[in-house]
Amino acid sequence: MNPAPLVALVGNPNAGKSALFNALTGARQKVGNYPGVTVERHSGRMSLPDGRPVELVDLPGTYSLEPSSPDEAVTRDVVTGTQEGERLPAALIVVVDAGNLDNHLRFTLQLVALGLPIVVALNMIDMAERDGLKLDPQALSEALGVPVIPTVAVRRRGVDELRAALAEAVGDGASRAVAGPAVPPADMSALQRRARELSKIATLSETPVRRITHGIDAVVLHPVLGPIILAVLMFVMFQAVFSWSEAPIGWIEEGFAALQGWITASFPESMLRSLIVDGVIAGVGSVVVFLPQILILFLFILLLEASGYMVRAAFLMDRLMAGVGLSGRAFIPLLSSFACAIPGIMATRTIDDPRQRITTILIAPLMTCSARLPVYAVIIAAFIPAHDVGPGIGLQGLVLFCLYLIGIAGAVLAALVFRNTIAKGAGSGFLIEMPRYQMPDLRDVLIGLWQRAWIFLRRAGTIIMMVTIALWALLSFPQAPAGQSQSEYSIAGRIASGLEVVVRPIGFNHEMALAVIPAMAAREVAVSALATVYSIDAADEEEASQGLVERLQGRWSLPTALAFLMWFVFAPQCLSTIAVMRRETNGWRWPFFALAYLFGLAYVAAGATFWGATALGL
């Protein structure tokens, strides 16, 4: 049986392509990857009016057929039939912004020259009218020689007409392979002149541009008000991430704990029960518990992106980010990483320059995420006296603040080094279109949220599960004879003894070496692991940390405790982050590099802290 004909959705960035893709395919979408590159392949099924199925693929937005990024190269290769693992489309839907014909028609002309059957979707026609443009789709169709259908993707207007025109363009479904692999050489200026002529033909009347957008920009890009509004928005976002996620995280933890309790109570003690309770369920739990924060952060990121504000935020922050060789685009991913590096790294997709994107991914784990707080809280409570160093400034709070600053300083240094070594190159700087503001469409946002959640659960989840089970095995085998501690006797315990030799010079003791191994799953596990090795029986984390504070005070010296804090500023003790790095960079090279450089930094920083503090006689 022949596969359904392939139809590709092509267009400039900000033409409303993804909204049209959602309108045409509904929720029947698949997100995959093109082989060998980190470019997502969004595809979905739709049926033509006569009932025939068609596979629709949403190609990355681009301004021309001369690519300046891997995404844009995929678009060129698909429409010319040279993309590995993709057949030549039977037809193209070219999406153009009705309010920006001058610019978008140039790319349309390039695509028409390829010779594939084409339907043009004159999208966002309502916004063009709002901005005082009166267009003549018929005249444009005649001038271009292809059907032109006015659409409003977010309101599902024109979708049926588009389907009908597409049925005609697809014809018998056989791809008319008139397009060769060669892209016709483009004279950009000539194309641009022709595009302007066409735009004039299609425009019946126009008035000055974009009143609403200019009105909003006058406020949000104001030299004084703009940064204040950005700061308030970011503050609200962080408040939401922490306060809204608290309850769902509690439910997830309780749910998994209840499941573990039920299985423990219902089945006799065995290796299998231990594998299921401590390996599988604990593993799945450690993945799912990240979901509330990821979903809330992505809700904000998707809303900022869809409304058009994201580029404005990048515009305001570009100067600051340029100082470390990045662009304003890196600001939101890095800021998100203060809540959790996982959505931060996933959000780097909006950075078009590959070298800046890699740099951002590599430094994201240095932003102090929420999982470090339980560790910091215990150690600070145990070793930093709770007295004031100034009016209203407590020493404990000051130390915590310094830990955040050290993380940022480390990130700044690392970014500067990477941008001058492994990720060297001027890159594309910051040269970007600021789209019109628009009301985000609820359905488009929900589809985006669902896709992010699914990618995280499926792709990262499988890796995290495997490693969690491996960790379980390391901690469970071989089984300790009666009277001996399992954590000491296990393989992990023996590794810890080996590790102790390595970490002894930076002031770590055997218990600390034993605690950092399970903390690879997630940083906060260090607290319960320390509680275990100091044999504290506690019902929950809070109780454990209270008992732990007292135990630690007698057993660790201050230099040792400070070294442990410093270790957690840098150490990449989060499998989920590593798994997401693998997924986002499409290979193990960068995750391994991140592990090496972050552990290296952690070792040096902890060692320097230990010896510095010892020399000072602390």
Per CB under 8 A, residues contacting another protein are 63-64, 66, 68, 99-100, 102-103, 106, 131, 188-189, 192, 206, 208-210, 213-214, 217, 221, 223, 226, 311, 314-316, 318-320, 322, 328, 426-434
User: Is the torsion defined by CA of 186, 192, 197, 198 positive or negative?
Assistant: positive
Query: Smallest distance from the beta carbon of 238 to another protein, in angstroms?
Result: 23
Query: Smallest distance from the beta carbon of 355 to another protein, in angstroms?
Result: 12
Using an 8 Å Cβ cutoff, are 248 and 453 in contact? no
Closer to another protein by Cβ: residue 12 or 18? 12
Query: Smallest distance from the beta carbon of 487 to another protein, in angstroms?
Result: 53
CA distance to 41, 311, 327, 425, 443, per residue, from 78 (Å): 11, 28, 29, 28, 28
Task: State how far Cα 606 lies from the chain centre.
Answer: 29
Using an 8 Å Cβ cutoff, are 347 and 301 in contact? yes
Q: Please work out, in degrees rounded to the nearest 5, the angle formed at the alpha carbon of residue 86 by the alpha carbons of 83 and 89.
A: 100
Query: Smallest distance from the beta carbon of 11 to another protein, in angstroms?
Result: 13
Closer to another protein by Cβ: residue 111 or 526? 111
Using an 8 Å Cβ cutoff, are 204 and 136 in contact? yes
Query: Smallest distance from the beta carbon of 388 to another protein, in angstroms?
Result: 33
Using an 8 Å Cβ cutoff, are 332 and 313 in contact? yes
Closer to another protein by Cβ: residue 169 or 313? 313
Query: Smallest distance from the beta carbon of 220 to another protein, in angstroms?
Result: 10
Query: Smallest distance from the beta carbon of 332 to another protein, in angstroms?
Result: 15
Closer to another protein by Cβ: residue 168 or 433? 433
Rounded to whole angstroms, how far apart are CA atoms 91 and 562?
A: 63
Closer to another protein by Cβ: residue 199 or 532? 199
Residue 590: CB atoms within 10 A of its CB come to 18
Spatial strand order in the sheet of 40-47: 29-33, 40-47, 53-58, 6-11, 91-97, 118-123, 148-150
Nearest CA to 367 out of 385, 344, 384, 347 is that of: 344
Rounded to whole angstroms, how far apart are CA atoms 258 and 245?
A: 20
Closer to another protein by Cβ: residue 356 or 545? 356
Rounded to whole angstroms, how far apart are CA atoms 432 and 311?
A: 8
Using an 8 Å Cβ cutoff, are 341 and 367 in contact? yes
Closer to another protein by Cβ: residue 324 or 606? 324
Quick one: tokens of 556? 């660790």
Q: How many CA atoms lie within 13 A of 130 on its CB side?
A: 12
Closer to another protein by Cβ: residue 94 or 514? 94
Rounded to whole angstroms, how far apart are CA atoms 260 and 131?
A: 59
Quick one: tokens of 401? 């603040």
Closer to another protein by Cβ: residue 243 or 420? 420
Query: Smallest distance from the beta carbon of 221 to another protein, in angstroms?
Result: 4
Using an 8 Å Cβ cutoff, are 569 and 602 in contact? yes
Q: Amino acid letter at 122?
A: L
Quick one: tokens of 418? 């990477």
Rounded to whole angstroms, how far apart are CA atoms 573 and 519?
A: 6
- Looking at the DSSP bridge assignments, the partners of residue 33 are 40
Dmax over Cα atoms in the chain, in whole Å? 89
Closer to another protein by Cβ: residue 113 or 322? 322
Closer to another protein by Cβ: residue 432 or 474? 432
Closer to another protein by Cβ: residue 103 or 532? 103
Quick one: tokens of 4? 């359904």
Rounded to whole angstroms, how far apart are CA atoms 259 and 264?
A: 9
Query: Smallest distance from the beta carbon of 436 to another protein, in angstroms?
Result: 8
Query: Smallest distance from the beta carbon of 59 to another protein, in angstroms?
Result: 16
Query: Smallest distance from the beta carbon of 318 to another protein, in angstroms?
Result: 5
Closer to another protein by Cβ: residue 252 or 434? 434
* Dihedral pair phi/psi, residue 287, rounded to 5°: -85, -50
User: Is the torsion defined by CA of 280, 577, 608, 374 positive or negative?
Assistant: negative
Query: Smallest distance from the beta carbon of 431 to another protein, in angstroms?
Result: 5
Query: Smallest distance from the beta carbon of 312 to another protein, in angstroms?
Result: 9
